[in-house]
Structure 1
Amino acid sequence: MAQESSQTSTFIESLLKLTRFGNLVIIGFAQYFTARFLIGPHTFTDIRLFILSVSTVMIAAAGYIINDYYDVKIDYINKPERVVIGKHITRRYAILFHVVLSSLGIVLALLLSWRLVAVNVFSVFLLWWYSNSLKRLPFVGNLTVAMLTGLSIYVVDLLYGTHSALVIIYALFAFFMTLVREIIKDMEDLKGDNTFGCKTLPIVLGMRKTKMIIYGILAVFSATVLVLNQLYAALPFQYYTVFLFLPLLWLFYRLLRADMKKDFSWLSAFCKIIMLLGISSMAFV
């Protein structure tokens, strides 16, 4: 009995690790904050928002599983301590979980609207395509993940049909920050990606040119936020200084000096902190 209990516990821990449980919590957190603070307090207890959040989280979890399924060999080089498939969960079970979670995410969307069903079907297909081939192409894979992250914010507005400028601004924030983080992760994973023939930006262009691209993305992002704010939202500039521009300046400075795997790992984690700061700032809007 003790051995069975231990095996079950290990299996559950491995499944949570495989599906990036912490990231799933952030997705749900972001959607609830978007609805509560950018659309209206009445949304917080709306069962439709709960269904939307659960379906989004399921599809994201399925995406993490299929990504690790295709990346086992690369991950043994880049992050051997994080490999789950083949160690604690078989490849057959991984595919089963992927199919079940993806299907449930689509079925739940049927309770909301056909537009959200279309979004979820599109997301499932894109996540599979990304894991299978797109992530091995320069910039295309990064763009795919960034778009899906921004979409996870925008679908809240799609559910309620408010056409909120603030939701669009935050969806763009999620898009740009994820795009930067994905490129930085490619810089961190250069060795394994190069070994298995991936054509990511750092491999194709080199580190220096890849950094220049990130600087350009950060500049475009900052300008876009300021323009949209001026045209539609008109929030105080101090708001952006504290929650966005100061963290971005620190990111810029650390990226300028980064040249080792541990540096890029730190930058990737810091991008996630900026994302959390951005989500939290919704409460002050």
Structure 2
Amino acid sequence: MNIEFEPLCDLHGGSKLATRGYLCHMSSRQFTITGFIKLTRFWNLLIIVFSQYFTAVFLVSPGKVWDINLFFLSTATVVIAAAGYIINDYYDVKIDLINKPERVVIGKDVARRYAILSHSVLSFIGVAIGFWLNWKIGVINFLSAFLLWWYSNNLKRQPFVGNFVVAFLTGLSVFLINVLYGTHQPLVTIYAIFAFVMTLIREIVKDMEDLKGDNTFGCKTLPIIWGTRKTKFLIYFLLTLLFGTVIYINQVYKQLPQLYFFIFLFVPLVFLLARLVRADTKKDFYYLSQWCKVIMLLGVMSMVFI
């Protein structure tokens, strides 16, 4: 396998990346399975699968676990999400070399040409499966794939709108269960809102974590426009909404054990709030971002008790 040294070019056709120097990467034919798995965020995709299956089985009907349509819906959602992760990393190579150089995959483990090809193929598969299932799901999947591309290409560099898009699509992945089965289960909508708000918080926290690289390349994220202190106040407000959602679920649907509610939902949210108040470094915000993911998983698991 050939190793070659060449300047990393601007993915938007601009000048070469002078701040990083030369990037040592594999040949243009390079493609590794481990690199692809890393690129598509395997564990995040697994959370999506669990979210949709738990929503269908515990909030709609236990018999749905073996439903072939649910399997295909989950498959379509996962491949579109994977395509979104790929195109996001494709456009963000330069920024990631500053924010998280050890996690850069494109140009090293997966060649750029294979990355863009994988994105196109996975997006097509996800949209095609969607139309096969239901024309409404097909339209939603098409718009989701488009929004993920637009987010990666432009929206994520704008204040708040990029965060909102990712959060909206995350909540939508839960709400799709109602669309698939033609139901109007209120709990599905409530959990979709929970996923939306929790993801919105995590995306804003990630912007604070990536402040240095985003600022270097002219991104206009909330922490850059408002500063970290004001951005934290927005997260405090969102956490208040999240506390309200969790308390509402606990009060209206009494099946949720009080011990689970207190230990696995309320306490982690309080802990997140306390750590956010003191957070100041990149490491602090990375920790909070991972903790947000844990809370999302605990929220999904709470469906078992509904």
TM-score (normalised: structure 2): 0.87
Count of aligned residue pairs for this structure pair: 278
Question: Which of 173, 183, 205 is the matching residue for 1:184?
Answer: 205
2:84 to 39, 63, 83: 63
Instruction: Measure, in 2, the Cα distance between the counterparts of 1:227 and 1:248.
Output: 15
Summarize the alignment of residues 202-217 of structure 1 with structure 2, pairs less than 5 Å apart.
202-217=223-238
Pairing 1:98–2:115 present: no
**1:234: how far off?**
5.2
Matched with 1:249 is 270
C-alpha contact 1:59 1:102 (8 A) present in aligned 2:
yes
1:3 paired residue number: none
Percent identical among aligned pairs is 62
Alignment of 1:39-58 (within 5 A): 39-58=60-79
- Please list, as runs of the form range in 1=range in 2, the aligned pairs for 1:226-237 lying within 5 A after superposition: 226-227=247-248, 233=253
- The C-alpha deviation readout for 1:14-51, integer Å capped at 9, x for no partner, is 00000111111111111111111111111000000000
Which of 135, 141, 161 does residue 120 from structure 1 map onto?
141
State the TM-score, normalizing by the size of structure 1. 0.93
RMSD of aligned Cα (Å): 1.8
- What is the rounded CA distance, in whole Å, between the counterparts of 2:256 and 2:137 in structure 1? 34
Structure 1 residue runs without a partner (length 5+): 1-6
After TM superposition, the structure 1 stretch with the greater mean CA deviation from structure 2, 86-95 or 188-197, is 86-95
- 2:3 is aligned to none
Structure 2 gaps of 5+ residues are 1-26
One-letter amino acid matched to 1:16: I
In terms of fraction of residues, the more helix-rich structure is 1
Q: CA deviation at 1:243?
A: 3.3
Q: Is the 8 A contact 2:53 2:70 kept in 1?
A: yes
- Pairwise CA distance, 1:229: 6.3
Counterpart Cα distance in 2 of 1:80 and 1:95 = 20
> How far apart are the structure 1 equivalents of 2:60 and 2:256?
19
In structure 2, distance between residues paired with 1:56 and 1:237 = 31
Report deviation, 1:157.
1.4
Question: Does the Cα contact within 8 Å between 2:131 and 2:139 map onto a contact in 1?
Answer: no
Does residue 142 in structure 1 map to residue 163 in structure 2?
yes
- Displacement of 1:92: 1.1
Distance 1:79 1:252 in 2: 25
SS in 1 for 2:304: helix
